[in-house]
Each structure stands twice: as C-alpha cells, then as structure tokens.
Structure 1
C-alpha cells in the first residue's frame, strides 16, 4: 500500500496537518516555559493526545483504509468519527486557553501566551473541521453512501473513461 499524499493535503483533510503544526507549537512553547504551574498537565495531555490521534488519522487516510475501518454504509462512518474527535479537541483546546492564561500569570509570559494563542487557533480549526465533516456526514445520511454532495475534481482523462 502506497501512502496517498494527495488525499491528506487536500481539503478537508489538510486541516489535520494545520492542527498538528499548531499542536507542535503548543508542545514546544509549554515545554520551553520556565514555570510549570497547575493546569499545565492538562495542556500537555490534550496536546499529546491530539498529536498522537492526528498522526493516526493521517496514516489511516494516507493508506486509504478509512472506508475499511469505518464503512460508509452505516450510521457510524468516518465523517461522524471526525466530528466526534474534532468536537472533543475543540472544547479541550478552548479550555487550554485558560490554563495557558494561568501559566502566563505565574510567569513565563511569552511561552504561555504563544501556547494560548495557538490553543485558540487549533480550537477554531477543530470547530471548522466539525462543521465540514458534519455536513459531509449529514449529506451521506440523506443521499446515501458515497454521495457526500462535495464537488470532486479529477484531472483530464483525454478520452479515457
């Protein structure tokens, strides 16, 4: 099985890559802070969980086994799983903003401010991901499997079917 980079680097799955970059910034900035007050463990655990789960999602999408793992025939499909995961991380990263604000009040202002800003950005990206995959899941439930209502662009076939 070859890794399909096009599937991961096109919308809506490219949002996962942006989230991973944001999570890495959160991890590095909290790790660079001179003070680790209470609540930092929450930020760490959410960032590490998001990093690990994001890498697993990208690998599943890259080797194109998402339809095998979660068939589109049923109620619980890949888009619904994306919605559930994104809602969870949107809420927890939003909570992390206050944990980072607490860390900025305790010292290491720059590190926790940067982590708080990127927690906000990652939370917003997960909200956007939830909306997109919610629409895909709703369209699949309404129109049937494989009919997600999105416009697909395929390259020129030059006469081939």
Structure 2
C-alpha cells in the first residue's frame, strides 16, 4: 500500500467534470496539494454522503489551495450524472479499469454481493513534488474519513 513519504503512483484516468476529459496526476501537481478521495461506487449511501461532505467543506480546501478529486470505478458518464445530481463542485475520476486502485493497493470486494475489485474508502494527499503526505484507508466501507484531519493534512502539504 502507498505510504506517507512515497512518490504518489502516477496515473491517467478519464475526468468527469461536467464534460469528459483526461487527467494525469503528474500534469496537475501545480494544483497541489491534491486530495484523492477514493470511494467504492456512485449513488450509494455512504459514498454520496462522503462526496457531499467534501462538497460542503470545499471552502476549507480552497482556503489552503488544495484541489479535491473523487475516484471510483464508475464510468465517467455515471460520474457526471452523480456530480450533477449532488451538485458536486470538484472533478471525479473514472477508474473503470481498476488501474489506479491497483497502483494504490486499495482494492476490496463485496463478495456477498458478487462485486469485486472496487476501491476501499481511502484518502491520499499529494504535495507539489508528487509525494504522499497523508493517507487514510478504511477496511469498513461504512466509515467516512475525518474531514477536518484531511483538511489539516492538505494545509500542512501546502506549506
């Protein structure tokens, strides 16, 4: 698993930001600190709550110059609908091929539902040099991150 002090694994993924574009982490480091918020699936209870909480707390991240991106295995088209319905004010990244979740080593299964290889709920903060400065990974998909702690980590990474 990716740890604090590691170079953040670089990746390219479709970006759902109202349109569908491409996002490469290494090409966006000027937006650092970057908060990568992984979630299992759009339109599910805890995932919707989590993304809406990031939406509601965006001022905390903007105040420290941080940029938030949500990441799930959903298609960019699904993520755009999820953004619209929940009025999310940040981009969502589509990892349908599971390359990003594999690179960050945060895959989990909902075996009882027959759903495999989705993202654990996880947050990584990446600074302007591409170094991971904060990690939080939950094995329990019903647990949300400590948003104040994430904002503090983003603030520390901006210094």
Normalising by the smaller structure, the TM-score range is under 0.3
TM-score, length of structure 2 as denominator length: 0.25
Structure with bigger strand share is: 2
TM-score, length of structure 1 as denominator length: 0.25
Structure with bigger helix share is: 1
